[in-house]
């Protein structure tokens, strides 16, 4: 394992000074990224094209940093955007940190209640508003900017870096699980830490380290009583009504899911 070491004296000051000096450029790039309507939810060819453009732009940006970049395609009727795998550095003496992020967004129209155009990054009272500004284009760019700052200052990065950037997160991360399984023994084999910055700050000044999320589990429940219909008058009370059983089962789902392994109920335990 790698033991944490403090950065060389003065390095962080230099890095922060560089970031302050280049803030406008960073915001300008975010503005360009927000302007791309990379909506993965609505299955429209125009939006899918926009999503492809977004992924290509991010891949180019990573290539400019000197990263080796793979974009892994996935053929479907409405094409699925590639997932970007990029790596910078492979020094065995350094830990390898893998950053995950996504560049697609949920649909947004001004009529939904936006006070500004969702695809035009707009500053209001020192805050930047735009679809995807925080979820998740801004955080992806923040990592890229951090790496490019080290590069520009010609400072050695303290870690090897990998990026996994997808474009279908808002539509259920189509293709990601398959890719992770496929790349388990190659791209991901040297990863020591994964950082997911698809999250929130507690306040404008208080960042948060999220060390666990709940995720979702999908399954189907079917409750059956008998194979044939029975007259309620005579049989009611003797036979349980499946609907009532189902409601009771779902009504207890917190207890059920917290304490009973799904497998023991005969339910598939796969989760994401
Ligand atoms: Zn997100």
* DSSP of the chain: -----PPPTTHHHHHHHHHHHTHHHHHHHHHHHHTS--B-SS--HHHHHHHHHHHHHHHHHHHHTT-EEEEEEE--SSPEEEEEEEEE---TTS-EEEEEEE--B----GGGT-SS-TTS-EEETTEEE-TTIIIIIHHHHHHHHHHHHHHHTTPPPSSEEEEEEES-GGGT-TTHHHHHHHTTTTGGGG--EEEE--S--SSSS---------------------SS---HHHHBTTBPPHHHHHHHHHHTHHHHHHHS-GGGGT------
Q: Quickly count: other Cβ atoms within 10 Å of residue 6's Cβ.
A: 8
| Structural domain ending residue among the three candidates 196, 228, 251 | 196
Question: Per-residue pLDDT for 24 more than 70?
Answer: yes
pLDDT at residue 263 above 70? no
On the question of pLDDT at 253 being above 70, the answer is no
Q: What's the alpha-carbon Rg for the chain, to the nearest Å?
A: 24
Tell me what pLDDT residue 6 has.
78
Residue 239: pLDDT over 50 = yes
Residues 171 and 39 in one domain: yes
Does residue 5 sit within a domain? no
Question: How many A from CA of 251 to the centre of ligand 1?
Answer: 30
Compute the mean pLDDT over every residue in the chain, rounded to the nearest whole number. Answer: 86
Which of 37, 39, 104, 166 is flagged as catalytic? 104
Q: How far is the CA of 176 from the centre of ligand 1 (A)?
A: 14
| Residues with a beta carbon under 5 angstroms from ion ligand 1 | 135-136, 198
For the chain, what is the domain count?
2
Task: Check residue 242 and give its pLDDT.
Answer: 84
> In the structure, what pLDDT confidence band is assigned to residue 211 with cuts at 50, 70 and 90?
confident
- Cα 235 to ligand 1 centre (Å): 52
Predicted local distance difference test score (pLDDT) of residue 272: 40
CB 142 within 8 A of CB 197: yes
Catalytic residue among 37, 166, 169, 170: 169
203 within a domain of the structure (yes/no): no
Q: Does residue 238 register a pLDDT over 50?
A: yes
Q: What is the CATH number of the domain that holds 25?
A: 3.40.630.10
User: Which of 198 and 260 is assigned the larger pLDDT?
Assistant: 198
Same domain as 229, residue 95: no
Q: Answer yes or no: do 15 and 75 share one domain.
A: yes
Q: Per the domain annotation, does 97 fall within a domain?
A: yes
CA distance 154 to 176: 34
Question: Above pLDDT 70, what percent of the chain?
Answer: 86
pLDDT value at residue 151: 92
Among 265, 73, 86, which residue's Cα sits nearest to residue 163?
86
CA–centroid distance, residue 166 to ligand 1 (Å): 10
Report residue 204's pLDDT band, with 50, 70 and 90 as the boundaries: confident
Residues 17 and 141 in one domain: yes
129 and 59, same structural domain?
yes
What's the gap in Å between 187 CA and the centre of ligand 1? Answer: 23
| One domain, residues 112 and 239 | no
Domain-located, residue 117:
yes
pLDDT digits (tens, 9 = 90+) for 130-140: 999 999 999 99
Cα 268 to averaged position of ligand 1 atoms, centre (Å): 26
- Is 152 within a domain? yes
Q: Model confidence at 70, in pLDDT bands (50, 70, 90)? A: confident
Q: Are residues 241 and 191 in the same domain?
A: no
pLDDT mean over 161-176? 94
Final residue of a domain: which of 138, 167, 196? 196
pLDDT tens-place string over residues 48-66: 999 999 999 999 999 998 8
For residue 173, give every residue at least 6 positions away whose Cβ sits within 8 Å of its Cβ, in sequence order, or none: 102, 166, 272
Tell me if residue 104 is catalytic: yes
Task: State the residue range of the domain holding 236.
Answer: 217-272
Question: Is residue 60 domain-resident?
Answer: yes
209 in any annotated domain: no
CA of 160 to the centre of ligand 1 (A): 24
Question: Residue 6: inside a domain, yes or no?
Answer: no
Pair (188, 249) in one structural domain: no
Q: Which residues contact 94 (CB under 8 A, 6 or more apart)?
A: 2, 157, 158, 159, 160
Measured distance CA(164)–CA(146) in Å, rounded = 16
In terms of pLDDT, which residue wins out, 126 or 98? 98
Please indicate whether residue 32 is annotated as part of the active site: no
């Amino acid at each position: 394992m790698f033991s944490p070491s403090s950065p060389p004296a003065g390095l962080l000051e230099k890095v922060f000074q560089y970031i302050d000096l280049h803030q406008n450029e960073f915001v300008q790039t975010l503005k360009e990224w927000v302007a791309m309507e990379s909506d993965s939810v609505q299955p429209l060819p125009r939006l899918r094209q926009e999503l492809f453009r977004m992924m290509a732009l991010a891949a180019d940006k990573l290539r400019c940093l000197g990263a080796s970049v793979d974009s892994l395609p996935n053929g479907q009727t409405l094409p699925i955007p590639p997932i970007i795998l990029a790596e910078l550095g492979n020094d065995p003496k350094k830990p390898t940190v893998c950053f995950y992020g996504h560049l697609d967004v949920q649909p947004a129209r001004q009529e939904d209640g936006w006070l500004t155009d969702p695809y035009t990054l707009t500053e209001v009272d020192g805050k930047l508003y735009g679809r995807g500004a925080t979820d998740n284009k801004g955080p992806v760019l923040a990592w890229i900017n951090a790496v490019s700052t080290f590069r520009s200052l010609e400072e050695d990065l303290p870690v090897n870096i990998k990026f996994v950037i997808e474009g279908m997160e808002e539509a259920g991360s189509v293709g990601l699980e398959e890719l992770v399984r496929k790349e388990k023994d190659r791209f991901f084999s040297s990863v020591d830490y994964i950082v997911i910055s698809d999250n929130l700050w507690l306040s404008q000044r208080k960042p948060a380290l999220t060390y666990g999320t709940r995720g979702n589990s999908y399954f189907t429940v079917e409750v059956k009583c008998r194979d044939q219909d029975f007259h309620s008058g005579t049989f009611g009370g003797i036979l349980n009504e499946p609907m009532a059983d189902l409601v009771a089962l779902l009504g207890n789902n917190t207890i059920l899911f917290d304490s009973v392994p799904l497998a023991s109920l005969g339910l598939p335990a796969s989760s994401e």
